[in-house]
Amino acid sequence: MTKIKTLADLRKMKEEAQSKIKLRENSANPDQVVQVKVGMATCGIASGAKETMKYFVEELEQEAIDAVVTQTGCMGYCYAEPTVEVKLPGKEPLVYGHVNKEKVHEIIDKYIKRGELVDGIIPVSFRTIDD
Amino acid sequence: MKTLSEHILDIVQNSVSAKSTLIEIIVEEDKITDLYSLIIRDNGCGMSKETLAKAINPFFTSRTTRKVGLGIPLLKHNAEAAGGSFSLESELNVGTVLTARFQLSNIDRPPLGDIWETLYLMFLSYTDGNLVYRHKTEKGGFQISSDELKEVLGDVSYQQKEIREGILELIKSNLEEIGITK
């Protein structure tokens, strides 16, 4: 593939790949897809949340799972960063702590794909935060 | 925080929480004055004089989930440790400007890090407004914004492999052109 250096190159690449590419329908009805929110406040970033988020994007894509990966703020579990909130369609969100590369793999493989719970869930009456 | 990218990712969250519709990240390297400056400017809700005075205090935060707020103090510390300076200006309902200056040649200046990955993640998450990144070195400048990307890519998911790689390559190759690596 030719090198992408300008926005025009990017547009061309997009048009070439258009047939394979699905529209961003997931943001229109987020309840239908897997939602992954990575805690990305100071504590999360310092613990490597950037890598965690990157792996989520890459692995979910590889596994062809429809998902929205976004950042969120600090959930108050700074000791367990990087923390990740995973919400499967029609289920209550779960929060996992200490999510490194291996854990990302485990969460996707077991929880997201098969619905089995994985170690490292942060219990308590967790409520999703708005920011 | 080991890299400037991580600081940027962190500080921009403040601008996002401030409901900004325009966030500008400007990095400038100047060998003549030996300065490396990072400016983050937004048009969010801003801060009152009282809040502004407290923002550099690590024991102040606007959050309720925890009692400390380390993002700004850590950046200030890193700038000052690298022979630089730090300033924060803000006006209610107008916006906030954060400036961190580092001595370019200082060994304690954090490296930029993988800014392309960082920008990609920010473009992925921040969809409420325009996020602009500008980088200037003596070899030239580069600018990219989320509005431009949106214009080119439309409704396609940025998580799509081809698109993700395309965005990363666009940023990376242009930055390499003006002499920037990790």
Nearest to A5 among B160, B161, B170 (CB): B170
A47 phi, psi to nearest 5 deg: -95, 0
Question: Which residues of B touch chain A, with CB atoms under 8 Å apart?
Answer: 1, 5-6, 9-10, 13, 16-17, 63, 65-66, 69-71, 74, 117-118, 121-122, 124-125, 127, 148-149, 151-164, 166-167, 169-170, 173-174, 177
Residues A2-61 pLDDT 10s? 688 999 999 998 888 877 766 555 555 667 889 999 999 999 999 999 999 999 999 999
CA distance A117 to chain B (A): 25
pLDDT of residue A50: 95
pLDDT band with cut points at 50, 70 and 90 for residue A130: low
Q: Where are the domains of chain A?
A: 26-114
Q: A26 vs A62, B157, B158, CA distance in Å? A: 17, 8, 11
- Domain A26-114 falls under CATH 3.40.30.10: yes
Which domain range does residue B148 map to?
4-177
Residue B144 lies in a domain: yes
Residues B119-146 pLDDT 10s? 999 999 998 899 999 999 999 999 999 9
| Test mutation, B3, B4, B13, B147, chain A, max A CBs within 10 A | B13
CB-based contact B47:A19 (threshold 8 Å):
no
Contacts A–B by Cβ distance under 8 A: 121
Question: What is the tally of structural domains in chain B?
Answer: 1
pLDDT of residue B180: 86
CB contact under 8 A, B63 and A67: no
Residue B55 lies in a domain: yes
Q: Is the pLDDT of residue B156 over 60?
A: yes
CA–CA distance, A62 with B160 (Å, rounded to integer): 10
Residue B58 lies in a domain: yes
CATH code for the domain of B127 = 3.30.565.10
Nearest CA in chain B to A56: B159
CB-based contact A74:B66 (threshold 8 Å):
yes
ipTM of model: 0.88
Residue B182 lies in a domain: no
pLDDT of residue A74: 86
Closest by CA position to A49, among listed A58, A41, A57: A41
